[in-house]
Amino acid sequence: MKNRIVYQIDSFTREKFKGNPAGVVLHANGLSDLQMQQIARELNNSETAFLFSADQQGIDGEIRYFTPTTEVPSCGHATIATGYALAMEKKMGSCVLKMKTQIGVLPIEIHEKENDYSISMTQGAFSLSPEFDEKTTNAIVSSLGLSETDRLNNCPIQIASTGHSKVMIGIKSRKKLNALSPKMDALKTISSQIGCNGYFVFTFDSNDKDILTYGRMFAPAIGIDEDPVTGNANGPLGGYLIQNEIIKPHNNLFEFTGRQGEQMGRLGEINVQVSIENQVPSTIKINGEAVVIFRTELFL
């Protein structure tokens, strides 16, 4: 029996029991896929990250991510949580770690300030799929409990990705956003047809000049009816807004803050930075704060 350090961390917040909770298992070497899936199910967060030691030169470790039901290629809030757990465990100063994931080796920046940390994650390459046909669009809109009149006309419904894809759906009203009650079984069926498990509904309806968007993310096909605050949705949203010319940046950097989790009582904030080359997104980075809920030992 071997003891392993496990953290429970709320990402994208400094307030406990807000933001998005993630499990982080340090020293995961030797765990089988089945054991990792069982641990993720036991912790029952939307994702749990498992940190392995480096298996090649030039990297600092490897991270794998599991929902309660399946492994996923990447996860924003669990990456933020992993960086924060490492920083707290090792009392690290500001630095950059290179972590191997299923979508490539990604840099995680640890920013030390006043005996605490914020964490930045460079996401995978941005991609944007074509707009869905009318039949699929109507099915998505209906399954989310929306009507055509709720939609923003300049926001096509399409898949955006920085490694773990999401369907982007722009709507007019924050009140409507918070009132959504999607048909989860219908979304699961659509996911199997389009090859994308997440649906990110967002609005520009904000009464705070520092907050550009509010959003909600649903992914029932991978066991997440709703995710509180989603790095792999807000990051791709930045690329989506630039590539579709919904936002016109003043220079080669577009930066905004998005809020998510309001309806769930787990409000959190994500800072998104989109670097632009030749008028298209080149690099997307997310930044967030975090707070430890507990640190414990797992005997397995």
Active-site positions read 47
User: Do 206 and 256 form a contact (C-beta atoms < 8 A)?
Assistant: no
Q: What are the phi and psi torsion angles at 207 (to 5°)? A: -100, 15
Residue given tokens 């047809």 in the structure block: 193
Q: What are the phi and psi torsion angles at 213 (to 5°)? A: -135, 155
| DSSP assigned state of 144 | T
Both structure tokens of 213: 């968007």
CA distance 65 to 71: 6
Q: Is 172 helix (H, G, I), strand (E, B) or coil?
A: coil
φ/ψ bin of 192: left (φ > 0), alpha (ψ from -120 to 50), beta (otherwise): alpha
Q: Could you list the beta-strand ranges (E) of 71-208.
A: 71-72, 95-101, 104-113, 116-122, 127-128, 158-161, 166-171, 198-203
Q: What are the phi and psi torsion angles at 137 (to 5°)? A: -60, -45
Q: What letter represents residue 167's amino acid?
A: V
Closest CA relative to residue 75, chosen from 96, 37, 45, 55? 45
Q: Could you list the beta-strand ranges (E) of the chain.
A: 3-11, 20-25, 47-52, 61-66, 71-72, 95-101, 104-113, 116-122, 127-128, 158-161, 166-171, 198-203, 213-219, 224-227, 253-260, 268-277, 280-299
